[in-house]
Amino acid sequence: MTSRHPVRLVCVDLGGVVVRIRRTLSEALHAAGVPGYLLEGISEAEMAAYRATAAAHQRGEHAWESWIEHAHGALGGRFDRDTLARAHDAVLVGEYPGVARALGAVRSAGAATACLSNTNDRHWDALLELPSFGEIEHRHASHLLGLEKPGHEIYRAFERATGVAEHEILFLDDLEENCAAARACGWNAVRIDHERDTATQIVAAARAHGVAC
């Protein structure tokens, strides 16, 4: 179905749309070489504390070195700092094939491109090196704005930063709760299936909303 209002800007999430990620702490720690029996020992209270400090990190409240200390403490000191750093870096697996080309096609069709992601300073520095970032004109993230999805404030901050009206934005995210929040703000939003070809989904969503790419 084609949108009644062709969009001016296509905004992508990063993890699960542009780059494949390990989606749980256990997956990341396993990739960092932590044996399974140690992963099973993490308590619910430690996981809750870890999630809280990770959320603060992605809001920019902790810089990298500070966050490592907070994460180490949240998990009861059971993993050394080097292991936590390796696990954190292992979250980013690699860019999905064809995404840079898909975003380039959107730009060639006359629409602007942007990102709006819940991320942090360490991951952001790595993401900037991806080929896809060369095709993203407006670069926004939770740690830069001090806000996080799905809070409505981050969507409004993005509108102010880009000067694009809500109905002119197409937002692509792999989490339905983030898409639902965007729709509540008046944005067009399409959920991307992170287990399928994301580049094809980006192009299909853009075309469905009036971008002739």
Say what the pLDDT of residue 5 is.
66
**Residue bearing the bigger pLDDT, 107 or 4:** 107
Q: Is the pLDDT assigned to residue 108 strictly greater than 60?
A: yes
State how far the alpha carbon of 128 is from the alpha carbons of 43, 95, 136, in Å: 34, 11, 10
Q: Other C-beta atoms within 10 Å of 196: how many? A: 10
Answer yes or no: are the C-beta atoms of 155 and 178 closer than 8 Å: no
pTM above 0.75, yes or no: yes
Q: Is the pLDDT assigned to residue 2 strictly greater than 50?
A: no
Task: Report the Cα 71 to chain-centroid distance in Å.
Answer: 20
pLDDT digits (tens, 9 = 90+) for 45-56: 999 999 999 999
Length of the chain (residues): 213
Say what the pLDDT of residue 36 is.
87
Tokens 């080309």, residue located: 101
SS3 of the chain: helix, strand, coil, percent, to 5: 50, 15, 35
Q: How many helices (H) and strands (E) does the chain have?
A: 11, 7
Answer yes or no: are the C-beta atoms of 114 and 187 closer than 8 Å: no
pLDDT digits (tens, 9 = 90+) for 130-187: 999 999 999 999 999 999 999 999 999 999 999 999 999 999 999 999 999 999 999 9
Mean per-residue pLDDT, 191-206: 98
Quote the CA–CA distance of 114 and 103 in Å, as a whole number: 9
Give the sheet arrangement for strand 9-12, strand by strand.
138-141, 112-117, 9-12, 169-173, 188-191
Say what the pLDDT of residue 6 is.
83
Coil/strand/helix, residue 195: coil
